[in-house]
Amino acid sequence: MENFSDKSDFNSPLGVRGLIKICGMKFPENIQAVAVLKPDFMGFIFYPKSPRFAEPLDIATLKALPKSIKKIGVFVNENLENILTIAYKYDLDGVQLHGTELVDMCTELKKVGYIVIKAFPIAEAYNFKVTKDYEGACDYFLFDTKTDAYGGSGLKFNWKMLDEYLGETPFLLSGGIAADDAEAILKIEHKKFAGIDLNSKFELKPGLKNIDLLKSFILELKN
């Protein structure tokens, strides 16, 4: 499996390259337009209660994506069989588990060969401690703002709390990242900070990304 923490589209103050994941995609033309921006990951949500629920996706559009863009299916408390069925159907490269999934599921999916991202809701520094059991079972952790729903809140948690994360697994930062956050992101110096996850603050409506806003933001990070 590729080590994606060695690839990215922007430079941090430490000179470490970071990843860009654009999540909540669903519309064919919008998927194609986002692909031109060359994100590292593109996320598709397979949680029926989400306003960004992706199915049915246009398989031809997904097949036309460059191999460099890894297709990630986002699931919430789904059973393993259904995850594998959907991953095979859409030829996904990885899965993001955004519910209360156990370590065993992460291990099984990684064993099959998928990139595994496990999301953790963050409300206080204590929440980082629960990641310890998942060390070695995931390629990345994703730290999102804790809400009653499973992500997509558009809200930030206190990024200063990232200093309390002492694990070895690289992490992606999520939760309310907006176009005016580039400067703050570039100041994050955590050695395990692998990249960012962009979603609701870059949308015209749920699932439809604002291409111009994304483009200018990514260029700001690169420069």
For CA atoms 46, 193, 180, 120, give the dihedral sign. Answer: positive
Residue 163: which of 193, 186, 133, 137 has the closest Cα? 193
Q: Are 139 and 115 in contact (CB under 8 A)?
A: yes
> What span, in angstroms and rounded, lies between the C-alpha atoms of 39 and 196?
10
pLDDT band at 146 (very low <50, low <70, confident <90, very high): confident
Q: Where would I find the beta strands (DSSP E) of the chain? A: 10-11, 17-22, 41-45, 70-75, 94-97, 115-122, 140-145, 171-173, 193-198, 203-205, 208-209
> Which of 15-24, 67-76, 159-168, 172-181 comes out lowest in average pLDDT?
15-24
> What span, in angstroms and rounded, lies between the C-alpha atoms of 138 and 169?
7
Share of the chain above pLDDT 90, in %: 80
pLDDT band at 66 (very low <50, low <70, confident <90, very high): very high
> What span, in angstroms and rounded, lies between the C-alpha atoms of 167 and 175?
20
> What span, in angstroms and rounded, lies between the C-alpha atoms of 79 and 102?
11
For CA atoms 107, 139, 117, 67, give the dihedral sign. Answer: negative
HSE of 17 in the Cβ direction (CA atoms, 13 Å)? Answer: 9
Average pLDDT over residues 60-78: 96
> What span, in angstroms and rounded, lies between the C-alpha atoms of 185 and 106?
28
Considering the candidates 23, 106, 181, 197, report the single residue annotated as catalytic. 23
> What span, in angstroms and rounded, lies between the C-alpha atoms of 38 and 50?
25
How big is the chain, counted in residues? 223
**37 or 222: which leads in pLDDT:** 37
Q: Residue 150's pLDDT is what?
A: 58
23 is catalytic: yes
Q: Please write the tens of the pLDDT for every residue from 102-131.
A: 999 999 999 999 999 999 999 887 789 999
> What span, in angstroms and rounded, lies between the C-alpha atoms of 143 and 145?
7
Is residue 4's pLDDT more than 70?
no
Say which CATH number the domain at 202 has. Answer: 3.20.20.70
> Residue 131: which domain range?
4-222
106 is catalytic: no
Domain count, the chain: 1
Q: Residue 147's pLDDT is what?
A: 74
Q: Please write the tens of the pLDDT for every residue from 162-218.
A: 999 999 999 999 999 999 999 999 999 999 999 999 999 999 999 999 999 999 999
Quick one: angle between helices 80-89 and 103-112, nearest 10?
30
Is residue 8's pLDDT more than 70?
no
Considering the candidates 9, 144, 181, 197, report the single residue annotated as catalytic. 144
Is residue 2's pLDDT more than 50?
no
